Amino acid sequence: DLTTTIGDFHFDNTVMNGAGVWCFDRDELSAVDSSAAATFVTKTATLQARQGNPEPRMAATSLGSINSMGLPNKGLDYYLGVLAEFENTHPDKPYFLSTTGTDPDDFGRLFTKIAQSNFHGLVELNLSCPNVVGKPQIAYDFGAVERILTQVTGIYHGALGVKLPPYFDLVHFQEIAAVLNKFPLVFVNTINSVGNGLVIKDETAAIAPKGGLGGIGGGYIKPMALANVRTLRQLLNPSIRIIGTGGVQNGRDVFELILCGADMVGVATQLGKEGPKVFARLTQELNDLMDEKGYRRLSDFRGNLQVP
Ligand code: DHB
């Protein structure tokens, strides 16, 4: 039994895509929708469609990935339209819309539009895109997070969560948790890519934008994902569910994120490498591991990390 709950929403599995991978358009979302995944999240939607950064802008390595996509997406209206179709076809399946602003006054307009739409799933506000040239990662500015969430929660009363970048300092964990705990958030998704790494092939950067710098994903970042899930689980209001994302390659990785407190697990780099069939494999491997350990439900081990 891999069922899980976020807010009032029920899911029949505990793995889904991480935003950015296999979620650009209707066809990609449809492939994830008909896989073993619990649900999908869309590519992060901005008010207007964007082309994103020049190519090459993503590269896979044996240990993970680097990307500086620059938020290419088909615009909020497109994703709201596609979500309306999925919600009509699957009335009982909750979906996630990812969105963000590239300008401070975007947030009011984005959430006014979402509030006026028929969308009744969960919104993941991406506060952690590392790749828009000249724009900082919002969630490293705690004052900005508080201002944006004050504005957004004044406009939007549906199920809302945020996607966070990794934090690396215990005081920063306390500061972000103190801000997030002031708002009626249903979930936090942690972590986004580790920003501004560099991958070199021969003597050349693997990607072109930002002098070769980009967000690191995959196996490289699993320890940071585990630490962020674990620490935020200890600091956030218990009503805030956690989506753990970062470095999942096999069922054991899913298990460890849940052991740190995750209620749902996101898969991005490995989904890019393997395609949507990854969800059936991860589900099988997690079920096998739980059988071996005698666990029947996720709640039998969620958050139960032992520390010697
Ligand atoms: C992009 C990358 C991210 O890690 C993210 O959260 C949003 C957007 C991108 O470059 O498109």
Helix, strand, or coil here: 274?
helix
pLDDT in the model for residue 11: 99
Q: How far, in Å, is the centroid of ligand 1 from the Cα of 3? A: 28
Q: How far, in Å, is the centroid of ligand 1 from the Cα of 226? A: 20
**Is this complex's ipTM strictly greater than 0.90?**
yes
The arithmetic mean of pLDDT across residues 67-87, rounded, is: 98
Per residue in 197-230, pLDDT (tens digit) is: 999 999 999 999 999 999 999 999 999 999 999 9
Q: What class, spelled out in words, does domain 4-54+70-195+219-300 have in CATH?
A: alpha beta
Domain limits of the chain?
4-54+70-195+219-300
> Band of the pLDDT at 83, cuts 50, 70, 90?
very high
- Residue 235, token pair as written in the block: 């600091």
Contact 195, 250 (CB under 8 A): no
Helix, strand, or coil here: 187?
strand
Strands 200-201, 159-164: pairing is: unpaired
The arithmetic mean of pLDDT across residues 233-240, rounded, is: 98
- Annotated catalytic residues are 129
- Residue 187, token pair as written in the block: 């979930």
Residue 50 pLDDT exceeds 90 = yes
For the CA of 131, the closest atom of ligand 1 is 10
Residue 195 pLDDT exceeds 80 = yes
pLDDT in the model for residue 136: 81
For the CA of 195, the closest atom of ligand 1 is 4
Q: How far, in Å, is the centroid of ligand 1 from the Cα of 287? A: 31
Is the bond preceding 56 in cis, omega lying within 30 degrees of 0?
yes
Residue 134 pLDDT exceeds 80 = no
pLDDT in the model for residue 18: 98
